Amino acid sequence: MKESLSLLSNDYHIDGHVSPYSFEIQVISDVTCRHKRIGYGKWRNIMHKAIVIVDMQNDFIDGALGTQEAQEMLPRMVAKLSAARAEGTALIFVMDTHGVDYLETQEGKRLPVEHGIRGTVGWQIADVLQPFVREAAAVIEKPTFGATTLPAALADYDEIELVGLCTDICVISNALLVKAFYPEKLISVDASCCAGVTPESHANALAAMRMCQVEIHSS
C-alpha cells in the first residue's frame, strides 16, 4: 500500500464541511491505516504528546517469542494506557507484520521462529489492549524492526513516549529512528512498560538509548 500521511492542521473537516472545532488525522502506513476524528477540546493535549505502543502482540507476550517479563508487564501497560486515554494523550500502535514467507526473509534466516504472521492469533494485539486499539490515532504495521512511516505519523507531536516489546529489538529501533528524525523533540521510553528478550538485554538497550539522549524513566 502506498505510504502517505494527511494532517489537516489549519482547517478541520466535519462531515465534509470546514470547521475550526475539530480535526481529522489520516495515516496510511506501511500496510494499513486508521482514521480518527477528535473533538477540539482535546486538541492541545493530544497534539502535545503521543505514546507509541510497540509490538504488544500475542506472539511477543505469551506466544512464539513470549517471555515471563512481557506477561508481568502487561497489567502495567493497561494501567498506563488507561491513564493516557483519560488525559487525552494520543495512542499510536505499531505491529510486527510478516507474510507466510517469513522464513525466507533475511530476518527469518537469522531468527527462524515464525511470528507476527498476518491473520494469525499470534499477530493480533493482546485482547486486553483492544479497547485502546479501537481508539488509536493510528495503527502501523511494519515488516521489519523499525516502522519507516512512524516519523510522519508523529510530525505534529512535541513529546513522544515509547513502550512495548521487545526493548532490545523493536523498541530501541523505533526510539532511535524517531530520535534521528526529531532531535529537538522530547523522546522518552517508559522502562516499566517494556520487556526485553532477556532482563540483561533489556537493561543494555535502555543504557544504549540513554547514551543517544532518549530519556529513560519508569511510571
Task: Report the pLDDT value the prediction gives residue 105, as an integer from 0 to 100.
Answer: 97
d(CA 52, CA 157): 11
Q: pLDDT tens digits for 118-176?
A: 999 999 999 999 999 999 999 999 999 999 999 999 999 999 999 999 999 999 999 99
Instruction: Read off the pLDDT of each residue in 7-36 and give the average, rounded to a whole number.
Output: 34
Q: For residue 47, what pLDDT band results from cuts at 50, 70 and 90?
A: low
Task: Report the pLDDT value the prediction gives residue 11, as an integer from 0 to 100.
Answer: 31
What are the phi and psi torsion angles at 23 (to 5°)?
-135, 160
Residue 17 lies in a domain: no
How many angstroms from the chain centroid is the CA of residue 84?
Answer: 14
Residue 112 lies in a domain: yes
Q: pLDDT tens digits for 195-210?
A: 999 999 999 999 999 9
Number of domains in the chain: 1
Write the CATH number for 137.
3.40.50.850
Instruction: Read off the pLDDT of each residue in 88-108 and give the average, rounded to a whole number.
Output: 97
In order of 7, 35, 86, the CA distances from 39 in angstroms are: 15, 14, 14
Residue 121 lies in a domain: yes
Residue 66 lies in a domain: yes
64, three cell numbers = 512464539
d(CA 219, CA 168): 19
Residue 12 lies in a domain: no
Residue 157, domain extent = 43-217
Task: Report the pLDDT value the prediction gives residue 17, as an integer from 0 to 100.
Answer: 31
